[in-house]
């Protein structure tokens, strides 16, 4: 069987230069092919472990940068009041939490804060501010 021979060094130099200039493209295409084959096999075989092992191997090679994306969703309604017990100094993240800890109905906390009840089981509460907002110390 006859194999073609590269006859001069300029051809070899051109090939090396081309590979160096397009290295990231070849790596990306190769990684994409590996991922596509793995996802397809996982789909047909129904195995999540295949996907996990491929992701782990690609991450080890350094092709995928596992950045953490965070999303902050603003509250849809009132975020609630942060309360403090005047007697004990205990801070409650919400009126609901205060009601649970003190063992009373949430309506009793609301009524106390409006001034309709003098105390809640012998405790006096005050509003420090809204949850999720800076509160003065």
Q: What is the pLDDT of residue 98?
A: 93
- Which is more confidently placed, 55 or 119? 119
pLDDT tens track for 77-129: 777 889 999 999 999 989 999 999 999 999 999 999 999 999 999 999 999 98
Is 131 a residue whose pLDDT tops 70? yes
The model's confidence at residue 25, banded by pLDDT at 50, 70 and 90, is: confident
What stretch of H or E contains 16?
Answer: helix 9-21
CA atoms 53, 58, 62, 67: torsion sign: negative
Is 1 a residue whose pLDDT tops 70? no
Distance of CA 134 to the CA centre of its chain: 23
Closest to 33 (Cα-Cα) out of 60, 66, 62, 63: 63
| % of the chain exceeding 90 in pLDDT | 33
């Amino acid at each position: 069987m006859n194999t073609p021979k590269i006859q001069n060094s300029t051809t070899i130099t051109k090939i090396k230069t081309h590979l160096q200039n397009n290295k990231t493209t070849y790596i990306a295409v190769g990684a994409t092919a590996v991922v596509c084959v793995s996802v397809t096999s996982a789909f047909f075989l129904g195995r999540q472990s295949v996907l996990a092992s491929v992701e782990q191997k690609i991450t080890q090679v350094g092709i995928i940068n596992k950045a953490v994306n965070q999303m902050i969703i603003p509250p849809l309604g009132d975020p609630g009041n942060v309360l403090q017990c005047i007697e004990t100094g205990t801070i409650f993240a919400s009126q609901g939490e205060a009601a649970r800890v003190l063992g009373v109905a949430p309506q009793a906390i609301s009524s106390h804060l409006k001034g309709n009840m003098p105390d809640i089981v012998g405790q006096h509460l005050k509003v420090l501010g809204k949850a999720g907002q800076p509160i003065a110390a």
